[in-house]
Amino acid sequence: MRARRLLHAAMKALRSLNALAREGLVTADPRLDAIARTLAIAITPEMAALIDRRDMARDPIARQFVPSLAEAEIAADELTDPIGDEARSPVKGIVHRYPDRVLLKPIHVCPVYCRFCFRREKVGPGGEALSAAELDAALAYIRADSGIWEVILTGGDPLMLAPRRLAGLIAALDAIPHVAVIRIHSRVPIVDPSRITAALVRAVKPARAALWLAVHCNHARELGPDTKAALARLADSGIPLIGQTVLLKGVNDDVATLEALMRALVASRVKPYYLHHPDLVRGTGHFRVTIEHGQALMKALRGRLSGLAQPTYVLDVPGGHGKVPIGPGYLGDDPNALTIEDAFGGQHRYPG
């Protein structure tokens, strides 16, 4: 493990088409150049090492991070702001979609740039990180609204902040009496686990408020030894971990792959939280599955996994209207008694 860490430390993230080409991940194509001019590229050494170069088209790690010509195909119903962040942003860096919680986006860079990301046109080098004055204004907005019970740090990836800056931000939120919960959404523990140092763990722990950390993981292969060790450092420090996954064609859209992922997360002390139906992001049609297919997968998981390993299948309603559960139903329409379908497809009557 030590040798692997030293090897990864010597490597740099792949941040250009030329860097990807040197690693045998892409071939020169002017159409890819056009994509790279507008959408950021970054693949960490940990993720690059997982890619099977022999079958790039079907490799679930490559599909998530390596630019594809399919990204140039934009359907009429795809949107630049698919979940309506802009319409719900009263102050720069704040998205206030639900009465009791807000998103706070202090930074717009990530350790990797997922090709399906719903903010793919907003994040990357040169993206709009908050200035000191803008962050002060965002915090003032939170202080002024006593109905805000939870603040969710997202971006970009908030764990890309230096521990000193992160500690200052956590302390500022912790000092707001009505903020009871601080939640961090991050890819860092999965794709760049060496960043999860003792200093970072100390930085994210508030003195008063409850802290939850949501990690984004889409395939069990992402949970290598270094990543598991990083998750253990977080869990051992007392930070509760929850998992978010996006249902992606060619990555995890079969029941065996999802089952393996959910088991691997729970074994790493990460509670599966959401399975997201893919958003209507421009140029991501090659990732989308039907809701019917997603529901069938959730039905299959119900018969294979304990409740601890079951995520909630959700759709983020386009236009900024929030998430709704879209999992399968188990109740029939018998007018005299309920007909309930069990996890294995059996039908049972139950008095209404």
Write out the catalytic residue numbers: 97-98, 101, 110, 114, 117, 119, 279, 316, 323
- Residue 247 and residue 27: Cα distance in Å, rounded? 27
Judge whether 11 and 192 are in contact, CB under 8 Å. Answer: no
Strand 210-216, strand 181-186: pairing: parallel
Handedness of CA 311, 237, 191, 123 (dihedral sign): positive
Phi-psi sector, 172: left (phi>0), alpha (psi -120 to 50), beta: alpha
Supply 163's token pair: 């521990």
Among candidate residues 233, 350, 252, 340, the one with its CA nearest the CA of residue 301: 252
| CA 280 to centroid of chain Cα atoms | 16
DSSP bridge partners of 324: 315
Among candidate residues 256, 262, 286, the one with its CA nearest the CA of residue 275: 262
- Residue 183 and residue 180: Cα distance in Å, rounded? 10
Which phi and psi (to 5°) does residue 216 adopt?
-100, 120
Which phi and psi (to 5°) does residue 225 adopt?
-55, -45
- Residue 323 and residue 314: Cα distance in Å, rounded? 6
